[in-house]
Structure 1
Amino acid sequence: MDKEIFNKIESVKVWRENSLQTILKKYPKDGKGLYRHDDLVEEYNLLIRNGELKPSKTVEERIRMKPTRTHSGVATVTLLMKPFPCPGMCIFCPNEQDMPKSYISSEPGAQRAVSNDFDPYLQTYNRIKALQNIGHNTDKIELIILGGTCSFYPEKYLIWFVKRCFDAMNSFGDRSYEKDKMGIDGITWEDLYSAQRINETTICRNVGLVLETRPDYITKDEVIRLRKLGATKIQIGIQSLDDEILDLNMRGHHTKETKEAFNLLREAGFKIHAHWMPNLYGSTVKKDIEDYKKIWSKEYQPDELKIYPTSIIKNTLLEQYYLNGKYKPYSKEELLNLFVNILPKTPRYVRLTRIIRDIPSNEIIDGNKSTNFRQIAEKELIRLNKKIEDIRSREIKSKNITWDDLELETIKYDTPISKEYFISYKTKRDDKICSFLRLSIPNKEISKNNFMNDLIGSAIIREVHVYGNVVNIGKESLGESQHLGLGKKMIEIAEDISKKNKFKKISVISAIGTREYYKKRGFKDGDLYMNKDLN
């Protein structure tokens, strides 16, 4: 490949969607055909290693295939656990043979899991490799482990699955981890802890671990187990905050369990990522608008939210209700009306991670089939002069910034067990969020009797996040939010707030791969958290 391609890519002053295609046509592969993105990335990296080309941020951005994959500051790897029974009997839930409950084999993430035979090592390793091949940095990995209700899986399987994910990340520094030496039956907690310790300083570090479960399976013992696995965020299906609707849809729990689950998870410092489903059997647009308001009441207030409008999937009880005329999905106009009413009510401290589930249209009997409904709703909101102010809508992405561009914003809100602080740096000009920190100041009684020993008498940092393209660990960068020292500054602010609230200790629910970062800022290893004396 002619290195002149990269010089040409860098020299284009106004980069358009078709610019790369135009250049590649001038430099065909072997005189015919076009180079693929992974060809470009591989050759670019080779030329850099051989000293024939200087690293260029401009080139890297322009040859990366899907830049949004790492705009949030980390590279996300989603995995599915093997098919296993679920305690739920929800009428809307797909129950496809050979798939984890609630997942469909034709979904993109599910297809990757099936092609890797649900093997955690292969799913993790191959996904990281694929991201690297299209130009993404993979130093910082967030693992999202799905499969319905993780709390219902056998404990040894959970330990083994997570351990093999860590083996895969550790393999990028040492391929000796490739072979599964233990197997599920022989696995122990210490085997997992050993893999985690290695990951603290390896090339691909885990900066977040997400597990999925149900409200009625959250107990103190389960929360401790989730933390031992290394989890930092819990996805939890609330589906509705109306007990009558929950019963009609055979959900198997009530809002009482949801409130208790939120309190336990927040007491332990977890990020809470809720799933909510409008258009459930028995609901209406009016009821859903009221239900959405409840999500932001004192009892709940998740940090992130996925909105999954109900779809009628083959071979579900809801399909029978639909065929018998007992259930009718919202029309496109009704769904749009719902979104236009609820999305602007989303608090600024929340991230709307999804508004539509990525189910292939051929799997949906009736209901919304547009996977770009968020864009449709946003366009309508602009027309109505309304806007969404959630985190995702305000992310800085790849823009270059300086301290002079920024201002500090602190949002306070109360929960039944704590006072929460959402501390963020955002741009003065256009309100783009560059970094944020979630600080929990527990109520006196909770703090004194916290069931997590590390957290007794402690303020809790639940999340630190800096947006912008992923920068190699330890690598300097000019103007990128990842390297302005925003994280360090926000931690100092959190420490000051904790002191003002009479706390002598602050703890952080650190991911395995961020332990070194916190050690440099004075935190020390506890049992399951990292702690710092504020005296």
Structure 2
Amino acid sequence: MTDPDLTTNRSISKVELISRWRRKHPGQPLPEKMIGKPVRTMSGVVPVTLLTKPYPCPGKCIFCPNDVRMPKSYLSAEPGAQRAAANNFDPYNQVSSRLQSYYANGHTTEKVELIILGGTWSAYPLPYKIWFIGRCFEALNEFKPDKKLGAPQISGEAAWPRLLKAQKINETASTRCVGLSIETRPDFITLGQLIELRQMGCTKIQIGIQSLDNRVLRLNRRGHTVAATKKAIKLLRSFGFKIQAHWMANLYGSTPAKDIADFKKLFGQIWYRPDELKIYPCSLIETAELMNYCRKKLWRPYSRAELMRVMVLVLPMVEPYCRVSRMIRDFSSDDIVVGNKTTNFRQLVEARAKNIKEIRYREIKNILVKPDDLRLEIITYTTSIGREKFLQWVTKENQIAGFLRLCLPRVEAPVKELAGAAIIRELHVYGHALALGGLGRTQHSGLGKQLLAAAERLAKGYKKLSVISSIGTKKYYQKHGFKDGQLYQHLQLVD
């Protein structure tokens, strides 16, 4: 977008227009029509994706690409990978430069979700993980839109006290972490790992389950079983983590019919039922071992019609409490030997599928809505550790304006701190990411407070209501009566 500069008779960029407007109206929110790519923050937070440095992965999956310049399973042409490489995988510079880009395009940068990718986080050395997370928090704490970044560092001093200090500062910083996710494998989910992740401030785990068929897992050399997936999800849920599963179609040894049957298990069986889902049809990359299988005609990609049919049938199976974050990988079409190369494949699937219930399809986005136009709906479902209550504010058209995930465990708590606790696993209100305390169409309209009150009522019979809060949301929960614990925050329900 360009507008003529009447004084110099030249065109100026949208970024420059935004900069001029801010100088003329300091402290005022930017008009929505000026924000570049508004969909980026329409879910209510500013997502910042960053990659860890290249490092050996314990997996030997035949479908996984091997780009020595990248962490396992990522390719250098992917947008996030390009940004990571430009910053030499320095976490501080990755976070800072991404936030600077958001700010320059008119977005607020106060509420940030850190999405850390790079294969199997659990396999990296602990000192590197402590340093990496610590530098992320320091980047948030020290963020300035015009700050000149220093030379990138791929590793540095690692110390828990430094990380904890950065977290404490972030509780009241101008740019706060309101969500932090990592990705790993089911066989690396252990009690010790999850305690460590909570100490680091993690709230969501991306877990690569890929298939719920032991034969398919074995043929693809995945290295874990379905039993490991069940155990991992059970442990994650008992800790209160939000669970984002990765599932793949068209793996070696599967068929369209088997994929559809496999997908049904995700929500039909109590062992799984994820909160978020990434659906990844298998794409053949030249560096993957699967290339040899294709040459020998042992594996072939689904035809466009086959893949479309699978996706059109499985998408409506996703329950209303789950959000489908992605439906294809961000691979460049130049990197894909065979497989789906249609970048708007999700839109085509959604246009054909019927009765889509998943969250992303129903998000209110930027539609003006009044609290009186919403109704509170509660969905109850059973899991491997008890019951879940999904509380959602919806319009009469079933668009979702906010939700809360409440876990009501019936098993022994994994840590003493959660003994006798019902757990709030997520609280989210939609609308453009707003400045802390700002007023907007749905955010800061009291919906979150009402969801907390409803959760407190539903948790009757438990000793306390605990929340797996992010570092940057602690003050919000303190305002509503929650007290800090070692890994969680708690509201006493029984004296």
Same fold (TM over 0.5): yes
CA 1:464/1:252 → structure 2, altered by over 3 Å: closer, same or farther? same
Native 8 Å contact 1:269 1:462 kept in 2: yes
Q: CA deviation at 1:451?
A: 2.2
CA distance in 2, matches of 1:437, 1:122: 33
Q: Which amino acid aligns with 1:488?
A: K
User: Which residue in the other structure is 2:385 paired with?
Assistant: 417
User: Which residue in the other structure is 1:487 paired with?
Assistant: 448
Are 2:197 and 1:222 equivalent residues in the alignment? no
- Can you list the C-alpha shifts for 1:370-408, whole angstroms capped at 9, x where unaligned? 121001111223xxxx13111000001111211221001
Match of 1:505 among 438, 460, 464: 464
Native 8 Å contact 2:99 2:145 kept in 1: no
- Can you list the C-alpha shifts for 1:512-534, whole angstroms capped at 9, x where unaligned? 00000000000011001001111
Native 8 Å contact 2:283 2:336 kept in 1: yes
CA distance in 2, matches of 1:225, 1:39: 44
User: Which residue in the other structure is 1:467 paired with?
Assistant: 430
Q: CA deviation at 1:366?
A: 0.4
Are 2:117 and 1:133 equivalent residues in the alignment? no
User: Which residue in the other structure is 2:250 paired with?
Assistant: 279
User: Which residue in the other structure is 2:305 paired with?
Assistant: 333
- Can you list the C-alpha shifts for 1:59-113, whole angstroms capped at 9, x where unaligned? x211111001111000000000000000000001011112100000000000000
Native 8 Å contact 2:90 2:154 kept in 1: no
Match of 1:289 among 251, 260, 263: 260
Native 8 Å contact 1:94 1:104 kept in 2: yes
Q: Which runs of 5+ in 2 are unaligned?
A: none
CA distance in 2, matches of 1:313, 1:387: 34
CA 1:399/1:102 → structure 2, altered by over 3 Å: closer, same or farther? same
> 5 Å matches for 1:147-296?
147-172=118-143, 186-296=157-267
CA distance in 1, matches of 2:474, 2:224: 36
CA distance in 2, matches of 1:116, 1:183: 9
Give me the TM-score of the superposition, normalised by structure 1.
Answer: 0.89
Match of 2:8 among 26, 30, 33: 30
The answer to which of 68-77 and 184-193 deviates more is: 184-193
Q: CA deviation at 1:172?
A: 2.3
Q: CA deviation at 1:186?
A: 3.6
Match of 1:440 among 407, 420, 423: 407
Q: Which amino acid aligns with 1:228?
A: Q
Q: Which runs of 5+ in 1 are unaligned?
A: 1-19
Q: CA deviation at 1:35?
A: 1.9
User: Which residue in the other structure is 2:439 paired with?
Assistant: 476
Native 8 Å contact 2:53 2:154 kept in 1: no
Q: CA deviation at 1:339?
A: 1.0
Native 8 Å contact 1:29 1:35 kept in 2: no
CA distance in 2, matches of 1:370, 1:183: 35
Give me the TM-score of the superposition, normalised by structure 2.
Answer: 0.96
Native 8 Å contact 1:395 1:433 kept in 2: yes
> 5 Å matches for 1:89-108?
89-108=60-79
Larger Rg computed on CA atoms: 1
CA 1:176/1:108 → structure 2, altered by over 3 Å: closer, same or farther? closer
Q: Which amino acid aligns with 1:192?
A: L
- Can you list the C-alpha shifts for 1:350-382, whole angstroms capped at 9, x where unaligned? 00000111100000000111121001111223x
Q: Which amino acid aligns with 2:343?
A: T
Cα RMSD after superposing both structures: 2.0
| Percent pairwise identity | 49
1:83 is paired with a residue whose SS is: coil
2:403 is paired with a residue whose SS is: strand
CA distance in 2, matches of 1:512, 1:100: 27
CA distance in 1, matches of 2:157, 2:47: 29
